[in-house]
Amino acid sequence: MKIEITEQKRPVLSEEAKAEIQRVIKQYPEGRQKSAILRVMHIVEEEAGGWLSPDTMDMIAEILSIEPIEVYEVATFYTMFNLQPVGKYVFEVCRTGPCMLVGSDNIITYLENKLNIKVGETTTDGMFTLKTAECLGACGYGPMLQCGEEYHEYLTPEKVDELIEACRRGEIKGNKVV
Amino acid sequence: MGRKLLLEHADVPGIETFDVYRKHGGYRSVEKALKTMSPEEVVEEVKTATLKGRGGAGFPAGMKWSFIAKPEGVPRYLLCNADESEPGTFKDRYLMQYIPHLLIEGMIVSSYALGANQAYIYIRGEYMFVLRIVEKAIAEAYEKGFLGKNILGSGFDLDLSIAPGGGAYICGEETALIESLEGKRGNPRMKPPFPAVQGLWQCPTVVNNVETLATVVPIINMTAAEYTKIGTEQSKGTKLISAGGNVERGGVYEIELGLSVEEFIYGDEWCRGIKNGKKMKALVPGGSSVPILPAHLITKTANGDTRLMSYESLSDGGFASGSMLGSGGFIVFDEDQCIVRNTWNFARFYAHESCGQCSPCREGTGWMEKVLHRIETGKGNMRDIDLLADINKKIEGNTICPLGDAAAWPVAAAIRHFREEFEWHVTHPEEAVKRNYGMLKGVTA
């Protein structure tokens, strides 16, 4: 995995996020704060606009009193973390067997054409990133995609159009602009 | 209409809240266990119920519990495996999303049985919206005195919290889950030592699936003697089945073990047949890693017996003509589907999800994906088919964790039952690149 060093500064955590991090760390015994790492990474990633720069990961290491390498190790293992900047809305289309049987390939192609990007790319206006994901656990309701925390199921081209419009109108929760 | 032990009240409005759940008989098993039973009696009850692990492996839960080491002064942990990631499986999500208190209730009783005062739910990161529902339910349970210190005045303490993963199928393997919960990469550990002896932070740990822990509730409420009246000889009780693929009505269903596969797929109460009036070509009955069954082996076994939704009937005939109940993830293929393409798709999944620790799996899953992609896109040759079988044999049994086996089985089974289709891709390279190739041969169901 390639991590490009960028100019991104550390995010300024909101008071809510700080409190949430402290609450989560307390769920583990004294000295086991490293166990909170994934939750903390999710929280900080949200605060940082949907991705983790090396600088942001260093901040996570400081919060958890661990070495930066311990955060990098984890960040490069788990696929949910974005290590490059992403668009305001990230569409992750499930591509695994059960979804493929009901047409996920068509949805991916439709999105590529509609947004004029390939899987893995972000639109030039910074609005949308298109990704594929392995089985998201919605096999009876496919094709589907995840955007933020939300699942969008039983997708058709029409529903994809509606979703894109809803994003453009700001009705869907997107990544923070930082 | 089959009996429902887990999802009986799943449709009740507000059942995700403590009050409504309690009104419908919720938390009775906690009262019963903590006030009238010893921990050993709870373990015994679950053993007598012959509850098999519902995550996929089917290992008897009571037996797993009885392995837990009890050294003086060392904490024990109960972990709930909610890292549901096996393609085709989405039953745990349903249970947690709609009746989160059932899982919490099951975890309180199970922790009491194990003598664990701290329990964690490890949920896949993509289910963050479900995590928030469960977390709310946990807070309610604390508020009502079912979690925390001295639960119901019994002297038993339990703390429970939920932790998200970060998108890694391998963390559903119990030792990888433990590694992940320790804040590390999800590399499975060598066994022994088993988690029951050295698990989370080197302490005795039991890891159980969501549905397994939830099932402890009806077992304690109705007693093992009553519970074992439901089901078949070797498969007791009910099971959540998640149905997906080309069925008319996909979703999560609770079935009494022993229901016929035919009734489940075609019955009005369940899947209502194949979508768009098509014929069924194949079935993967237990999540993507179990062997695929061709049409003529789905509703009947090789002996001509009716195939039932049970551990023993689905595995009847071994891997030659049977499969496994696994996680209960039913993936149904209609007649237009291409087995080669799907096998490649699954191989890609396992290559993507291999943790990379053992070379046979790390390299083998990647090779299988490449060879299958070559065949699927009309660039393969006949030797490739045997090459796949060879790679398979070299992965199976040669890895630390079962992901290697899980990757090998679907490929082996697809070639076993659909070899002609693989050969056709080699002999018809131009047609092979066309999507949704379906061979009607062998479709009888």
Q: Which residue has the tokens 């030592």?
A: B193
Residues B268, B215, single domain; the answer is no
Residues B248, B282, single domain; the answer is yes
Element (H, E) at B80: strand B77-82
In this structure, are residues B421 and B344 in contact, taking their beta carbons and an 8 Å threshold? no
Residues B76, B209, single domain; the answer is yes
- Please report, in angstroms and rounded to a whole number, the separation of the first and last CA atoms in chain A: 24
Domain boundary at B286, B313, B334, which? B334
Q: Is B91 on the interface with A (CB under 8 A)?
A: no
Q: Is the pLDDT of residue B90 over 90?
A: yes
pLDDT reported for residue A177: 85
pLDDT reported for residue A2: 52
Residues B95, B145, single domain; the answer is yes
CA dist., res. B309 & res. B13, Å (int): 30
Show which of residues 194-253 on chain B sit within 8 Å of chain A, judged by CB atoms. 201, 242-247, 250-252
Cβ of B245 within 8 Å of Cβ of A102? The answer is yes
pLDDT digits (tens, 9 = 90+) for A135-167: 999 999 999 999 999 999 999 999 999 999 999
pLDDT > 90 fraction of chain B, expressed in percent and rounded: 95
Domain boundary at B199, B227, B255, which? B227
For residue A133, the SS3 value is: strand
Q: Is the pLDDT of residue B381 over 90?
A: yes
Q: What is the mean pLDDT of residues B388-413?
A: 94
Question: Which parts of A are annotated binding residues for [2Fe-2S] cluster?
Answer: 94, 99, 135, 139
Cβ of A98 within 8 Å of Cβ of B124? The answer is no
The alpha carbon of residue B86 is apart from the nearest alpha carbon of chain A, in Å, by: 7
In this structure, are residues B119 and B160 in contact, taking their beta carbons and an 8 Å threshold? yes
Chain A: residue whose CA lies nearest to B437: A101
**HSE of A177, CA atoms in CB hemisphere, 13 A:** 4
Query: Residue B308's domain is classified under what CATH number?
Result: 3.10.20.600
pLDDT digits (tens, 9 = 90+) for A38-63: 999 999 999 999 999 999 999 999 99
- Residue B445 falls inside a structural domain: no
Cβ-based neighbour number of residue B118 at 10 Å: 20
Q: Is the pLDDT of residue A1 over 80?
A: no
CA dist., res. B351 & res. B361, Å (int): 8
Average pLDDT score over chain A: 94
Question: Which parts of A are annotated binding residues?
Answer: 94, 99, 135, 139
Residues B117, B49, single domain; the answer is yes
DSSP B368-416: HHHHHHHHHTT---HHHHHHHHHHHHHHTT-SSSTHHHHHHHHHHHHHH
Residues B148, B255, single domain; the answer is no
Structural domain tally of chain B? Answer: 3
What one-letter code names the amino acid at B185? R
pLDDT reported for residue A7: 59
**Residue among A98, A133, A134 whose CB faces B244 most closely:** A98
Whether the CA torsion B358, B361, B363, B364 is positive or negative: it is: positive
**Residue among A37, A97, A136 whose CB faces B342 most closely:** A97
Average pLDDT score over chain B: 95
Going by DSSP bridges, is the β-strand pair B293-294/B280-284 parallel, antiparallel, or unpaired?
A: antiparallel
In this structure, are residues A143 and A103 in contact, taking their beta carbons and an 8 Å threshold? yes
- Using an 8 Å CB-CB cutoff, list chain A residues near B288: 96-97, 135
Confidence band, pLDDT 50/70/90 cuts, at residue A10? confident
Sheet with B280-284: list strands edge to edge: B251-256, B238-245, B329-334, B280-284, B293-294
Query: Residue B394's domain is classified under what CATH number?
Result: 1.20.1440.230
pLDDT reported for residue B443: 36
- Residue B362 falls inside a structural domain: yes
Q: What is the mean pLDDT of residues B18-23?
A: 98
Domain boundary at B227, B256, B278, which? B227
Preceding amide of A143 cis, omega within 30: yes
**Residue among A42, A133, A140 whose CB faces B164 most closely:** A42
Domain locations along chain A? 15-75, 89-168
Q: Hey, which CATH number is domain A15-75, 1.10.10, 3.30.70, 2.60.40, 1.10.3470?
A: 1.10.10
The alpha carbon of residue B65 is apart from the nearest alpha carbon of chain A, in Å, by: 23
pLDDT digits (tens, 9 = 90+) for A19-34: 999 999 999 999 999 9
**Residue among A39, A102, A138 whose CB faces B90 most closely:** A138
The alpha carbon of residue B256 is apart from the nearest alpha carbon of chain A, in Å, by: 20
Show which of residues 348-387 on chain B sit within 8 Å of chain A, judged by CB atoms. 349, 352-353, 355
Strand partners of residue B254: B240
pLDDT reported for residue B135: 98
**Domain A89-168: CATH superfamily, name plus number:** Glutaredoxin (3.40.30.10)
**DSSP type of residue B54:** T
Task: Give the structural domain span for B400.
Answer: 339-432
Q: Is the pLDDT of residue B439 over 50?
A: no
pLDDT digits (tens, 9 = 90+) for B321-371: 999 999 999 999 999 899 999 999 999 999 999 999 999 999 999 999 999
Q: What is the ipTM of this complex?
A: 0.95
pLDDT reported for residue A162: 98
**Residue among A32, A74, A151 whose CB faces B185 most closely:** A74
**DSSP type of residue B361:** H
Residues B40, B132, single domain; the answer is yes
pLDDT digits (tens, 9 = 90+) for B93-148: 999 999 999 999 999 999 999 999 999 999 999 999 999 999 999 999 999 999 99
- Residue B9 falls inside a structural domain: no
Residues B168, B257, single domain; the answer is no
Confidence band, pLDDT 50/70/90 cuts, at residue B1? low
Chain B: residue whose CA lies nearest to A30: B201
B44 token code pair: 């015994």
Element (H, E) at A38: helix A37-47
Residues B344, B365, single domain; the answer is yes
Of B23-32, B248-257, B427-436, the one with minimum mean pLDDT is: B427-436
Residues B190, B303, single domain; the answer is no
pLDDT reported for residue B432: 79
Task: With CA atoms as reference, report the closest residue to B54 among B202, B213, B176, B278.
Answer: B213
- Residue B161 falls inside a structural domain: yes
Q: Is B86 on the interface with A (CB under 8 A)?
A: yes
Residue positions counted in chain A: 178
pLDDT reported for residue B441: 39
